[in-house]
Structure 1
Amino acid sequence: MTDQGVRWTSDQVLALAPDDASRRAGSKLGTPGPWSGTGTGTGVGAGSGAGAVWGLCKGSGRTPYRTVVDVTGPAYACSCPSRKFPCKHALGLLLLWAAGEVGPATEPPDWAAKWLASRQARATAAASDGAATGPADPEAARRRAERRAARITAGAQELEQRLADLLRGGLAAAEQAGYGQWEETAARMVDAQAPGLAARVRELGAIPGSGPGWPVRLLEECALTHLLDRAWLSVDGLPAPLAATVRTRVGLTVPQDGPTVRDRWLVLAQYDSADSRLTTRRIWLYGEESGRTALLLSFGAAGRAPQLALPVGAVLDAEVRPYEGAAALRAELVEQFAAPAAPGASAAPPPGGPVAAALDAYGHALRDDPWLDSWPVTLTGVAPARAEYDWQLADGGEAIPLTRAAQGGPGLWRLVALSGGGPVTVFGEVGHQGFTPLAAWGPEAPGETVPLV
């Protein structure tokens, strides 16, 4: 036990890594050899080092890298030139701390204290600004919203014409025309300030080159895109939850809905997805008292990992505020009251059920959001099994295939090793492409969350 709370495990530290390369590099630095001047704070107040770990890491130059981590965030600072968050030095320092190799210190060095004090000052200023700033001009905000809605409506009408032309000419023309026309249409959706429609158009353009059976997939996705277009064009007449979902799907930001929820949140999973423009990080939480599942989203510019990172398997005493929408899964992390702590023996995975119950849950979610790609579920009493060329999870009565992305990856082999042929509990996302396992719990250590991504 430390003043920051329970020390993290090495698995929880490595779960913060933005990619496999950082995980390997950080592991090499998790030994005392390259480190000097390490410490973990025992004081109180801004810049005192409370809730922080710091150290100097020897690099290729004469000057060691200065690394400091605020584990209450967590947040990281390092003098190295890496654009990853956390960098390999921050991971190595946390691994050293997790192993008990970092001793307590009364005060941090000046460079660490300045960074910690500046973080505290920014947090205080942000809170003051939020309290002092009055509401924005509602009339100006209404006019801006109306102008953007008009542009999106024009974009949706143009996309409807594009889909009609495609079906009138036949799907075979899509393969002959190539990707260029789709990208041009997507660019026009961006101009219409409808990034959600633009993303769907790019997905449509990629289908003709996706292998056998592409005409069926293209027709299905065209139908869903048409449904979204028509829903937007009549959004004012939809029920409020569905209208909020439609606005989100076309690319509008919806406000958070209702009061905050304070709970002890178990960090179930964290993973990144990236394209040429943006890196998106998804963090799944489960509230031990509320029984609520929440999804935190954070973003980074292309090639850069988002700064929000939470150790998988840790428990977070925090408040979150849900967003509007039919599913109400996405939430914002409002306030964190303590550093992420180890879960303890009493922590349990979310309640789950058999494969059939998971498929039913996904079906009910689709009723409220027809454009939903996946839904979070917990499977109990399942075991990984090989079926011809693919892997699946079976519970003795029914089985669900793993998604193509999950086939053969390191997470699958970790799950197979944890199972040993016996039943386990698995949290993941179920969708029309199958099941993606994200975390698992074995019978021998039911309180230990094993990350699978």
Structure 2
Amino acid sequence: MTQQGVRWTADQVLALAPDSVSREAGSRLGAAGPWSGTGRSDEGAVWGLCKGGGSLPYRTAVDVAGPSGPAYLCSCPSRKFPCKHALGLLLLWADGGDSMPAGQVPDWAEEWMEGRREQGGRKAVPAQGGPGSASSGPEAAARRAERITAGATELEQRLADLLRGGLATVEQAGYGLWEETAARMVDAQAPGLASRVRELGAIAASGPGWPVRLLEECALLHLLDQGWLHRERLPEGLAATVRSRVGLTAPADGPPVRDRWLVLAQYDTTDPRLTTRRIWLYGTGSDRTTLLLSYGAAGRAPDVALPVGLALDAEVSSYTGGPRGVLGERFAPPGPTAARPPGVTAGRALARYGEALRDDPWLESVPVTLDRVVPTPDGDSWQLADTTDDTALPLTPAARARPGLWRLVSLSGGAPVKVFGECGHRGFTPLTAWPEGPGDAVPLC
């Protein structure tokens, strides 16, 4: 099969959109009307000219089969990747009509593609001397550990002062209290502690029951502080988890595993400083579920993007402990697959999360595929009722607020479906679903 023989679905294209605004705008450009000079090549390129507000059309090209995932070129001024023109062009290509004929790549797109693929062909050299890496040297590692210890000690005092004054004062203090504390943790070179402090600031006055949620998170932060301050007394596995949670990341030292990786889900979370993209993969041969993380500066989408429901032949290296991995060499572009991840019952999903908490008490959720569940209303909420063991998992508040819930309900129609998502103490967040019979994966986020 040629690389252009791999057609994506509209859902897989729209899953690449950096936000809902781009998704809607790209959908409007997914018809032939505003386009001219469109074409596709067997090497994995699609291109076209899109009429804009100026006298000259926007030149848009997508390298579908690039060495590090889809890449986008557009002469429009947008800072989003992919922009609405790239999304519209991909939708036009996914439609498979006569508006996207095979042809010769134009010079302006060919030059860009060649430069990108030459760069992608070079082997990456691991960074040296990064924080927490072995090459930092024992003296530098010891100095950083001392700074983190000082920061953790200060944070313990601040938590004690907070509880001594009572949580009622938090609502009046405003977010500045938390931001100043987080900045102190950044100075202490403990980004993990800083991140958790900022999360505390988002809980205060966030709705009914916020004092209980705030107290729970303060207790977990206190537990992490104490874990760091007494890490020499912990089992090595738990001590490694504590080091990772405070921000001392280890390199991806697992051996590369070549597999055909099914793209289970992709979604972004944003804050004023950073966009974090999470991509879940399942190795159909290794039976391994891996999480890829990539980042983009505020207002920009991360570079790595993989269409949900496709599979790619690639190598993945894993971090010690946990599901995180790093995508290595790719041997083919993403392609269609009939593979699906194996599922478990709702009861087994809960047990799996409980088992994971023994190794990482700060774990929010674990990746789980539920085999035969039906979305069912439960008063003002929703749950996934298991047709096998007569148990049910409530959906998280975030899942209930997403449009993907209604897509899941429509896909099910009262019949069992297979659902991949994240199972944690707040419930289950569905991310992708498959119908019981033949059919493509349906992204829910």
Query: Relative to 1, partners in 2 of residues 1:176 and 1:40: Cα closer, same or farther, differing over 3 Å?
Result: closer
Q: How far apart are residue 172 of structure 1 and its match?
A: 3.6
**Which stretch of structure 1 is more off in the superposition, 288-297 or 10-19?**
10-19
2: CA distance between counterparts of 1:392 and 1:118? 50
Is residue 2:159 matched to residue 1:163?
yes
Please, what is the CA RMSD of the aligned residues?
A: 2.2
1:118 alignment counterpart: 115
1: CA distance between counterparts of 2:233 and 2:41? 57
CA shift digits 1:75-123 (9 cap, x unpaired): 1111111111111111111111112232222x31111111111112322
1:255 alignment counterpart: 251
Identity score, percent: 67
Give the partner amino acid of 2:416.
P
**Pick from 83, 103, 125: which aligns with 1:130?**
125
Give the partner amino acid of 2:105.
P
Is residue 2:443 matched to residue 1:451?
yes
Is residue 2:426 matched to residue 1:433?
yes
Query: Relative to 1, partners in 2 of residues 1:388 and 1:256: Cα closer, same or farther, differing over 3 Å?
Result: same
3-state SS in 1 of match to 2:420: strand
Contact in 2 for aligned 1:54/1:112 (Cα 8 Å): yes
2: CA distance between counterparts of 1:172 and 1:217? 13
2: CA distance between counterparts of 1:108 and 1:116? 10
1:231 alignment counterpart: 227
2:214 alignment counterpart: 218
Output aligned runs, 1:354-393, within 5 Å. Answer: 354-393=345-384
Contact in 1 for aligned 2:182/2:194 (Cα 8 Å): yes
1:104 alignment counterpart: 102
Is residue 2:54 matched to residue 1:58?
no
Contact in 2 for aligned 1:68/1:78 (Cα 8 Å): yes
**Which stretch of structure 1 is more off in the superposition, 148-157 or 412-421?**
148-157
Query: Relative to 1, partners in 2 of residues 1:140 and 1:363: Cα closer, same or farther, differing over 3 Å?
Result: closer
2: CA distance between counterparts of 1:140 and 1:405? 40
1: CA distance between counterparts of 2:204 and 2:362? 20
Output aligned runs, 1:29-48, within 5 Å. Answer: 29-42=29-42
Contact in 2 for aligned 1:6/1:342 (Cα 8 Å): yes
Is residue 2:66 matched to residue 1:68?
no
Give the partner amino acid of 2:325.
A
With normalisation by structure 2, the TM-score equals 0.92
Q: How far apart are residue 148 of structure 1 and its match?
A: 2.1
Q: How far apart are residue 251 of structure 1 and its match?
A: 1.9
2: CA distance between counterparts of 1:117 and 1:371? 45
CA shift digits 1:266-307 (9 cap, x unpaired): 111111100011000111111111111011111001111111
Q: How far apart are residue 138 of structure 1 and its match?
A: 6.6
1:395 alignment counterpart: 386
1: CA distance between counterparts of 2:349 and 2:185? 35
Q: How far apart are residue 226 of structure 1 and its match?
A: 1.1
1:332 alignment counterpart: 326
2:147 alignment counterpart: 151
Contact in 1 for aligned 2:128/2:135 (Cα 8 Å): no
1: CA distance between counterparts of 2:135 and 2:320? 22
Query: Relative to 1, partners in 2 of residues 1:17 and 1:140: Cα closer, same or farther, differing over 3 Å?
Result: closer
Query: Relative to 1, partners in 2 of residues 1:22 and 1:138: Cα closer, same or farther, differing over 3 Å?
Result: closer
**Which stretch of structure 1 is more off in the superposition, 6-15 or 313-322?**
6-15
Instruction: Point out where structure 1 has 5 or more consecutive residues left out of the alignment.
Output: 43-49
2: CA distance between counterparts of 1:139 and 1:318? 28
**Which stretch of structure 1 is more off in the superposition, 223-232 or 29-38?**
29-38
Give the partner amino acid of 1:378.
T
Is residue 2:260 matched to residue 1:268?
no
1:199 alignment counterpart: 195
Contact in 2 for aligned 1:296/1:332 (Cα 8 Å): yes
3-state SS in 1 of match to 2:46: strand
Q: How far apart are residue 134 of structure 1 and its match?
A: 9.1
**Pick from 329, 334, 342: which aligns with 2:336?**
342
Query: Relative to 1, partners in 2 of residues 1:63 and 1:240: Cα closer, same or farther, differing over 3 Å?
Result: farther
Query: Relative to 1, partners in 2 of residues 1:263 and 1:29: Cα closer, same or farther, differing over 3 Å?
Result: same
Give the number of equivalent residue pairs.
436
**Which stretch of structure 1 is more off in the superposition, 309-318 or 177-186?**
177-186
Q: How far apart are residue 178 of structure 1 and its match?
A: 4.1
1:19 alignment counterpart: 19
Query: Relative to 1, partners in 2 of residues 1:280 and 1:140: Cα closer, same or farther, differing over 3 Å?
Result: closer
Contact in 2 for aligned 1:5/1:339 (Cα 8 Å): no
1: CA distance between counterparts of 2:342 and 2:134? 43
Contact in 2 for aligned 1:264/1:289 (Cα 8 Å): yes
1:45 alignment counterpart: none
Is residue 2:317 matched to residue 1:321?
yes
Contact in 2 for aligned 1:70/1:116 (Cα 8 Å): yes
3-state SS in 1 of match to 2:240: helix
3-state SS in 2 of match to 1:104: coil
Query: Relative to 1, partners in 2 of residues 1:239 and 1:53: Cα closer, same or farther, differing over 3 Å?
Result: farther
Contact in 2 for aligned 1:241/1:324 (Cα 8 Å): no
With normalisation by structure 1, the TM-score equals 0.91
Query: Relative to 1, partners in 2 of residues 1:3 and 1:178: Cα closer, same or farther, differing over 3 Å?
Result: closer
2: CA distance between counterparts of 1:14 and 1:111? 26
1: CA distance between counterparts of 2:92 and 2:203? 47
Query: Relative to 1, partners in 2 of residues 1:334 and 1:236: Cα closer, same or farther, differing over 3 Å?
Result: farther
Give the partner amino acid of 1:342.
P
Contact in 1 for aligned 2:61/2:72 (Cα 8 Å): yes
Contact in 1 for aligned 2:292/2:327 (Cα 8 Å): yes
Give the partner amino acid of 1:28.
R
Q: How far apart are residue 438 of structure 1 and its match?
A: 0.3
Q: How far apart are residue 34 of structure 1 and its match?
A: 1.9
Contact in 2 for aligned 1:378/1:428 (Cα 8 Å): yes
